[in-house]
Amino acid sequence: MTTFTIVFLLALFLGMPVAFALGVPSLMYLVESGQTSILPMMPQKIFGGLNSFTLLAVPYFIFAGEIMSKAGITERLANLFYLLVGRVKGGLAYVNILNSTVFAGISGSAITDIMAMGSLEINMMVEQGYEKDFATACTVSSSVVGPIIPPSIMAAMYSGITGVSLGALFAGGYLPGILFSLSMAIIIFLQAKKRNYPRRMEKIPFKAAVKIVIDGIVAILMPVIMIGGILGGVFTPTEAAIVGVVYAIIAGFFILRTLKLSDFPEMIVNTIKNASGLLLLMGIAYLFGWVLSFENVSGNVADLITSYTTNPTIFMLLVVLLALFAGMWMEVGTIVILFTPILYPTAVMLGVHPIVFGVILIITSALGVTTPPVGVCLYAASSIAGIPIERTFRRVAPFFIAQVCAVVLMVLFPDIILFLPRVFGLI
């Protein structure tokens, strides 16, 4: 197992794609340990891991997000929230948070949030007199809710690995996502008061306001229909993803009238690229978990942890620290796939609810996209704004601290996560 660990870390350090960084040492381990007779089973394990109706939701969620992004909903959402909260001091910063919170219910991804709305949000705030580094920090920090608020692609991956109900995970992610948004709103309130950030002074004509509201409702209805249908037991998460695609096509073509048939090849190609990468990673993750089972790694980890503590709260705080550190170097999906098969059995053994463990792991890992040295959203937003990441991270730091406090609150009071799944009878 030592060779496996060294090769894996070396592959990551050299920048090898994570799927191959997991697959190559897994293959080497089987050869080195003399278990060559089971090598023909490797493809079976990879494809068997992907043979899941739940994972079929992943490409459809990605495709629905691509369609709605191409349909131009980002500007319509921004206009709606600017109408609603623009007259509050620091209104555009609140718009940034609300935009990301709702768009998270469409895309399920932090980097998609940045790429779809980053330029619009940063430019709007700078034009209204906000400092560029603060505007960029708001955009980076608000993108964190992407992997948290349903439909969450990371939740689908966790569900695929553990077998935990995806609908229950979606329900469990709502209140934590809202809590994250509230923690950012507190920082904006304090900053706006201290720096006297602007508010909207002009009045918007009634007819224009009605059009803004109608356009905004079209965008908001998509996550409402999908998640409402899941929580109400109308359809499964995979069926919800397909409904989302159909709704996005109808909205783009017939309501907003911003989609063209010529847009589809690009959207389909983008969906294939993003989905194939994630699903390949998922397949290799099953192979990785299979290799771990040979060495009883999860059992050894459980023995190590329980030799120090059997308190589930302390265990979850250790998971938070581990995920925060790993988030500095890895992407969210990598952390979820790498740590779930190792730590999940210990969490269940100590009495941590599987939904609580999954949501906390995803949320804490998501914070890594805002931190150097490998924070993809930090780099992407700083690149869009044209400023050094050091300037951006200085303004991100207060948001980061507030979000970590929100995570600790969830660890101490796990009913924040379990409330909605219980209300809807999902657990």
Q: Which residues of 161-190 are buried (b: 16+ CB within 10 A; e: fewer)?
A: bbebbbbbbbbbbbbbbebbbebbbebbee
For all residues of the chain together, what is the average pLDDT?
83
Residue 269, amino acid: V
Q: How far apart are CA 29 and CA 336, in angstroms?
A: 22
Tokens 């090598």 belong to 39
Separation of CA 88 from chain center: 29
Q: pLDDT value at position 88? A: 85
DSSP 217-263: HHHHHHHHHHHHHHHTTSS-HHHHHHHHHHHHHHIIIIIS----GGG
Instruction: Report whether pLDDT(144) > 70.
Output: yes
The model's pTM is 0.83
Specify the amino acid at residue 30. Answer: L
Q: Is 306 helix (H, G, I), strand (E, B) or coil?
A: helix
Note the pLDDT of residue 101: 81
pLDDT digits (tens, 9 = 90+) for 77-133: 888 888 888 788 888 888 888 888 887 766 666 777 777 777 778 888 888 888 888
Q: Where are the domains of the chain?
A: 53-423
Does residue 373 have a cis peptide bond before it, meaning omega lies within 30 degrees of 0? Answer: yes
Tell me how far apart the alpha carbons of residues 57 and 80 are, in angstroms, rounded to a whole number. Answer: 29
What is the DSSP secondary structure assignment for residue 203, as one 8-state letter?
P
- Higher-confidence residue of 356 and 14: namely 356
Interval 201-209 mean pLDDT: 82
pLDDT, tens only, 248-261: 898 888 888 888 88
- Structure confidence by residue, pLDDT tens digits, 370-418: 887 767 778 888 888 888 888 888 899 999 999 999 999 999 999 999 9
Cβ–Cβ < 8 Å for 187, 195: no
Q: What's the token pair of residue 185?
A: 């709103």
Average of pLDDT values for 176-187? 91
Average pLDDT rounded to a whole number, residues 196-213: 83
Per-residue pLDDT averaged across 46-64, rounded?
79
**What is the predicted pLDDT for the residue at 331?**
76
State percent of the chain over pLDDT 90. 15
